[in-house]
C-alpha cells in the first residue's frame, strides 16, 4: 500500500498504476453526511464515497477508526469469505471525515431492478444465495436494505459495509433473522404468496418465515421512527437550505407564481402554483407531522402521496407550507370520480376498480400505514393507481378491528348512495380477506354504525348530502344482505 497527500487528505492506496492520479482534486464535503463521486481511471472507473463526521464523537472516530478505512478493510474481508462486493482499492482520511475508494460496478440497485418486473424470480434466487453466504461467513450486515445490494452484469454485490460485523464464533439465529428481515423489508409486501414460499425454500430455512415476518413489522416501525427524526436535516434524501428542506433533486421547484386558490379553511389553505400545489398550514404541529410523514415515506420509497418537493418552515409572520406535485391533470378525488364514472362503468370495470382499490388499502394496512381520516375526498384516483391526501392524518401502527371499522364507516359514508350494496360488499370482502380479523362481526359493526350516518361527499356539481337507500327486507344494515 502506498501513501500520498492531496488537499489535506492522506490517501492509502493499493498498488495500482494511475490510481492516485484519478483522485487528484478531491476535497472534503462539509455539509452532507454522505457524498459520492465516480472518477475515470484509465479505461476503468473508481467509485469514491465520503463519510462526513460531526461533533466530538465523530472527530474521535475519524482519528481512531475512520469509516473509510473500516469499509476498505471489511471489503477485503468480505471478498476473502467469497461474498461479492466491489473491489476495495484504498481509503483516505481528512480533518472532517474519510473516504473509501472502490472499483466501479456498472448496474443498479436490487430494488430498482426488482420493480422493473422482468427478473423477479432470478433476483430472489440470487438474494437467497447471498444471504446463505452471509450466514456461512458469520456476517451480520446491520444495514441490509435492498439499495445496499447492487445488481451487476455478473450477479449481486453487497455494498455499504461500514456497519458490518463478522462474528468470530457463533452466528446466532437473531443474527440470521436480522439479515433476512432487513433484506426483505423493501419488497416483502409486494411478493405473492408463491414468491414468499419459494424464497424461503431457496434459502433453505422455511421455519424462519414467522420470525422474519414478525421482524419485518418491528423493522418497519424502527425505520419510520428514525426517518421522521431526520426530516429536517440534510441526508441522502433531503437537502436543508435556509428555511427550506428539499427532497433531493427538487431544489428548482417552487419558483412559479400563484394560479388559483383551491381550498381555504381554519386548518389549511391549498393553492395551485405553476409547478406545484402549495399546502399552507395554520398549525405548526400539523405542518411538522405532515412533513415527517412525507419524508419517511420518501425514504422507504412508498409511493402513496403526491410527491413532496420541499417544506418551508414558518418564520416570524411567514406561514409554513409544503410544496408538492400537482396531480390535478392526472385524476380526481374518489368521491368525485365515483359520482362522475360509476353509472357508466361496465360490470367488469367496476370489479377491476374495486379489486385494485382494496389491494391498495390492504397493502397499506398490512404495512401499518393508516389514514386516520379515510373519507373519499382524501383518496385520489390516478391512472396508475391511488394516492392518499392529507399526509398529516397518516399514522404508522397496526390497526385493530375498531380502527378498521371506524375507517370503513368514514369511507362508506362519503361515497354516493347509489353505489350498489353488492359492490360495497365486494370491496369489504376483498379488503379484509388478507387481514387477521373476524369478518362477520366487523361487517356487522360497520353496517350498524353506517345506519346512523348521513352520506356526505363532494360530487361533480358540488357538496351532496344523501340518505342511505332502502334496505333489503330482513337486512339489519343499509347495504347488507339478508342474514341466513
Q: 183 pLDDT exceeds 80?
A: yes
Which one of 3.30.300.10, 1.20.970.10, 1.10.1060.10, 1.10.510.10 gives the CATH number of domain 107-229? 1.10.510.10
Q: What is the pLDDT of residue 481?
A: 47
pLDDT band at 470 (very low <50, low <70, confident <90, very high): low
More confidently predicted of 471 and 139 = 139
More confidently predicted of 481 and 89 = 89
- Please, is 23 exposed, middle or buried when counting C-beta atoms within 10 Å of its C-beta (0-12, 13-18, 19+)? buried
pLDDT band at 328 (very low <50, low <70, confident <90, very high): confident
Region of 462 (left: φ > 0; alpha: ψ -120 to 50; beta: rest) is left
Tally the C-alpha atoms within 13 A of residue 243's C-alpha that lie toward its C-beta.
10
Q: 482 pLDDT exceeds 70?
A: no
Instruction: Report the top-level CATH class of 332-466.
Output: mainly alpha
pLDDT band at 206 (very low <50, low <70, confident <90, very high): very high
More confidently predicted of 120 and 329 = 120
Pairwise CA distance, residues 283 & 302, whole Å:
26
Q: What is the pLDDT of residue 454?
A: 93
Q: Rounded mean pLDDT of the chain?
A: 91
Domain-wise residue ranges, the chain: 2-103, 107-229, 238-324, 332-466
Fold: same for 2-103 and 238-324: yes
Instruction: List pLDDT tens digits, range 211-243.
Output: 998 888 887 888 889 999 999 998 888 999 989
The CATH number of 2-103 is 3.30.200
Mean pLDDT of the region 188-213: 92
Q: 30 pLDDT exceeds 90?
A: no
Per-residue exposure over 233-268, b if at least 16 CB sit within 10 Å of its own CB, e if not: ebbebbbbeeeebbbeebeebbeeeeeeeeeeeeeb
Instruction: Report the top-level CATH class of 238-324.
Output: alpha beta
Instruction: List pLDDT tens digits, range 258-303.
Output: 999 998 988 899 999 999 999 999 899 999 999 999 999 988 878 8
Question: C-alpha distances in angstroms, 389 versus 270, 326, 410?
Answer: 12, 12, 15
- The answer for residues whose C-beta is within 8 angstroms of residue 171's C-beta and 6 or more apart is 135, 138, 140
Model-wide pTM > 0.75: no
Q: What is the pLDDT of residue 190?
A: 81
More confidently predicted of 244 and 452 = 244
Mean pLDDT of the region 69-76: 96
Mean pLDDT of the region 52-80: 94
Q: 109 pLDDT exceeds 90?
A: yes
Instruction: List pLDDT tens digits, range 357-388.
Output: 999 999 899 888 999 999 999 999 998 899 99
Please state, for a pLDDT cut of 70, what percent of the chain lies above it.
97
Instruction: List pLDDT tens digits, range 142-179.
Output: 999 899 999 999 999 999 999 999 998 889 999 999 99
Q: In this predicted structure, which of 338-342, 409-413, 454-458, 476-480 has the lowest mean pLDDT?
A: 476-480
Amino acid at each position: 500500500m502506498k501513501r500520498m497527500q492531496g488537499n489535506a487528505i492522506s490517501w492509502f492506496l493499493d498498488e495500482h498504476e494511475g490510481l492516485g492520479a484519478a483522485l487528484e482534486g478531491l476535497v472534503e464535503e462539509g455539509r452532507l453526511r454522505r457524498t459520492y463521486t465516480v472518477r475515470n481511471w484509465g479505461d476503468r472507473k473508481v467509485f469514491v464515497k465520503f463519510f462526513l463526521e460531526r461533533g466530538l464523537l465523530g472527530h474521535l472516530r475519524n482519528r481512531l477508526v475512520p469509516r473509510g478505512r473500516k469499509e476498505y478493510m471489511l471489503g477485503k474481508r468480505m471478498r476473502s469469505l467469497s461474498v461479492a462486493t466491489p473491489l476495495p482499492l484504498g481509503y483516505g482520511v481528512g480533518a472532517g471525515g474519510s473516504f473509501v475508494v472502490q472499483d466501479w460496478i456498472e448496474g443498479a440497485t436490487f430494488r430498482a431492478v426488482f420493480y422493473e418486473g422482468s427478473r423477479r424470480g432470478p433476483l430472489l434466487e440470487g438474494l437467497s444465495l447471498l444471504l446463505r453466504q452471509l450466514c456461512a461467513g458469520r456476517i451480520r450486515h446491520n444495514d441490509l436494505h435492498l439499495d445496499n445490494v447492487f445488481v451487476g452484469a455478473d450477479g449481486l454485490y453487497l455494498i455499504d459495509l461500514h456497519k458490518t460485523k463478522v462474528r468470530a464464533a457463533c452466528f446466532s439465529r437473531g443474527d440470521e433473522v436480522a439479515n433476512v428481515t432487513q433484506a426483505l423489508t423493501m419488497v416483502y409486501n409486494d411478493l405473492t404468496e408463491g414468491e414468499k414460499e419459494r424464497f424461503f425454500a431457496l434459502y433453505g430455512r422455511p421455519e424462519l418465515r414467522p420470525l422474519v415476518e414478525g421482524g419485518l413489522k418491528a423493522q418497519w416501525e424502527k425505520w419510520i421512527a428514525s426517518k421522521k427524526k431526520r426530516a429536517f436535516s440534510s441526508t441522502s434524501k433531503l437537502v436543508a437550505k435556509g428555511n427550506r428542506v428539499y427532497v433531493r433533486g427538487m431544489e428548482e421547484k417552487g419558483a412559479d407564481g400563484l394560479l388559483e386558490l383551491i381550498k381555504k379553511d381554519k386548518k389549511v389553505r391549498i393553492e395551485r402554483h405553476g409547478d406545484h400545489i402549495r399546502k399552507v398550514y395554520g398549525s405548526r404541529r400539523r405542518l411538522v407531522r405532515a412533513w415527517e410523514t412525507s419524508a419517511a415515506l420518501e425514504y422507504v420509497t412508498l409511493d402513496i402521496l403526491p410527491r413532496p418537493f420541499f417544506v418551508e418552515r414558518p418564520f416570524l409572520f411567514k406561514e409554513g407550507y409544503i410544496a408538492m406535485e400537482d396531480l390535478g391533470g392526472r385524476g380526481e378525488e374518489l368521491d368525485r370520480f365515483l359520482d362522475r364514472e360509476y353509472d357508466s362503468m361496465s360490470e367488469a370495470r367496476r370489479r377491476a376498480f374495486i379489486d385494485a382499490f382494496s389491494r391498495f388499502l390492504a397493502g397499506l394496512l398490512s404495512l401499518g400505514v393508516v389514514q386516520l381520516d379515510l373519507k373519499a375526498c382524501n383518496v385520489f384516483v390516478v391512472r396508475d393507481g391511488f394516492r392518499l391526501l392529507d399526509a398529516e392524518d397518516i399514522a404508522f401502527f397496526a390497526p385493530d378491528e375498531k380502527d378498521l371499522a371506524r375507517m370503513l364507516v368514514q369511507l362508506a359514508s362519503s361515497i354516493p348512495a347509489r353505489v350498489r350494496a353488492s359492490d360495497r360488499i365486494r370491496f369489504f370482502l376483498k379488503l379484509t380477506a388478507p387481514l387477521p380479523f373476524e369478518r362477520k362481526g366487523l361487517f356487522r359493526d360497520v353496517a350498524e354504525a353506517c345506519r346512523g350516518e348521513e352520506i356526505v361527499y363532494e360530487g361533480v356539481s358540488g357538496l351532496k348530502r344523501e340518505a342511505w337507500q332502502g334496505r333489503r327486507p330482513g337486512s339489519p344494515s343499509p347495504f347488507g344482505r339478508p342474514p341466513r
